[in-house]
Structure 1
Amino acid sequence: MPASGRLAGRSAIVTGGAQGIGEAIVETFLAEGAEVVFLDRDAVTGRHTERRLSGSRFLECDVTDSGQVTAAVGETLTRLGKIDILVNNAGVAAYFDAATMTERQWDQVFVVDLKAVWLCARAVLPAMRAAGAGSIVNISSIHARMTEAGAFPYAAAKAGVLGLTRSLALDEGPRGIRVNAVSPGYTRTRLVQDYLDRQPDPAAAERAVLDVHPLGRIVSPAEVASVVAFLGSAQASGLTGADVVVDGGLSARFAT
């Protein structure tokens, strides 16, 4: 483990850390000097990521199951001795027709994208309160503030994450615990690439996406992870209740 870095001496738990943005967060945290335990329900991918990211520790966990979350947080405390940072990254992008979506499907989306954020926060708060310090970073989405047709009810769930973030920030601030959100836009993950590849003309679909971004490109998982690391570090000591948008400037422009 590096002896220096923004997160030197800090212990972190990252949900949904086996791939995509979560994997990039784990890798960045390790590079910044943190000790990291990451959770994921995909045991095969999780173990592969653990082997690739030397120094990380993987725990299989379904974050929608309160018992599993409690057990994972307990094991993390046993291994690391403390939890300074929680990153609630686990989520699912699921889209339905509001008129035909079933209650079961609604519950499945919200238990992953919103309830699990609370379950994980609830599990780590006693240790953070006892320490009188901590940082919780919730991964939301630009869909929480702006969305598109066909994104129901993902946008509603991610908006809920922002509301939860603000509420926790107010409640936990007096105890020295900061709570912030990061809202990525298009990010170069496998899921986004698979979406582009499924289009009738993948090259044209890619150009259309890039053309609406002021930077002329979409962000990488590492760029999102760097912002998460900042929020978890002492450099962000004055930030709580904030939502940091990482979208290549997409949400700064009118549609044309």
Structure 2
Amino acid sequence: MNAKRVVIVTGAARGIGQAIAGAFGDSGDTVVLVDRDPDALHSTASALEQGGADVMARIVDVTRSTDIDRLMSDVIEERGRIDVLVNNAGKNTYFDAVTMTEDDWDSAMDVDLKSVWLMARAALPSLIESRGSIVNVSSIHARLTTPGMFPYAAAKSGVEGLTRSLAADYASAGVRVNAVAPGWTQTRLVDEWAARSDDPDALSKVLRAHPLQRIATPEDVAAAVEFLASPGARAITGAVLPVDCGLSITFRVD
């Protein structure tokens, strides 16, 4: 893997984004941490710096093009290039299609879909120069979903369509665009869900539904992202790589 690439990771302050940033930092890359939570961002940046990583940390609202343009200018000015963009920022949304307001819809799409386009649009000129790559974090919900996930599933389906379109449009410029699609992942959200459940066996049932009898860790997702951004994936573009411990290959009736 090439050392000292410049890698931008959105939603980098915790969870999957934090693991992704750590993986690139451990590989010797310069990592640009992007998040809206200043305390969590500072904590993650400090931890990576203590581990020897070259880090930039920026508080950015990825739904605002002015914030994004300022970010890209800072990165180019301070590090000279952009080699990898990881669009990880997102939020879970749970609405009923009838009662959901237009403002709720716009907010959900802004974070989970529009931000991916805005970040790609701003980074692509530099990525073309570096013949770099984009890795978008989608979700298993883009193709397989459950009741109560509206409109999250719609947004993530859009992320995968955007991934394919950008891959096709910029392949001739040497830019690869791929996505990972995590399923259940051991994050704070899963812990909180299990704690709220009335079923003490809820998490065990989830584990049994997975062929590998486990759910992914943030580090599992980070490893997949790092691979797709690496020279080892130089023949891969427009792909969506599931990171779901086999859940999406099953047809369960129990």
Normalised to the residue count of structure 2, the TM-score between the two structures is: 0.96
Alignment of 1:135 with 2:130, yes or no, is no
Aligned residues: CA RMSD: 0.9
Letter in 2 for 1:46: L
SS for the counterpart of 2:63 is: coil
Residue pair 1:40, 1:62 contacting (<8 A) in 2 also: yes
Query: 228, 231, 236: which one pairs with 1:231?
Result: 228
Residue in structure 2 matched with residue 74 of structure 1 by the alignment: 73
Letter in 1 for 2:160: L
Deviations 1:104-138 (A, max 9, x none): 0000000000000000000101112233x010000
Aligned-pair CA distance for 1:33: 1.7
Alignment of 1:32 with 2:18, yes or no, is no
Residue in structure 1 matched with residue 111 of structure 2 by the alignment: 112
Residue pair 1:64, 1:119 contacting (<8 A) in 2 also: yes
Residue in structure 2 matched with residue 3 of structure 1 by the alignment: none
Letter in 1 for 2:249: A
Residue in structure 1 matched with residue 6 of structure 2 by the alignment: 11
Q: Distance in 2 between matches of 1:89 and 1:58?
A: 15
Query: 149, 154, 157: which one pairs with 2:155?
Result: 157
Aligned-pair CA distance for 1:10: 1.2
Residue in structure 2 matched with residue 214 of structure 1 by the alignment: 211
Deviations 1:171-191 (A, max 9, x none): 000000000000000000111
Residue in structure 2 matched with residue 148 of structure 1 by the alignment: 146
SS for the counterpart of 2:33 is: strand
Q: Distance in 2 between matches of 1:36 and 1:74?
A: 15
Residue in structure 2 matched with residue 188 of structure 1 by the alignment: 186
Q: Distance in 2 between matches of 1:120 and 1:166?
A: 16
Residue pair 1:40, 1:60 contacting (<8 A) in 2 also: yes
Residue pair 1:180, 1:243 contacting (<8 A) in 2 also: yes
Aligned-pair CA distance for 1:7: 4.2
Q: Distance in 2 between matches of 1:7 and 1:39?
A: 22
Alignment of 1:121 with 2:120, yes or no, is yes
Flag as ranges the 4+ runs of structure 1 deviating above 2 A.
Answer: none
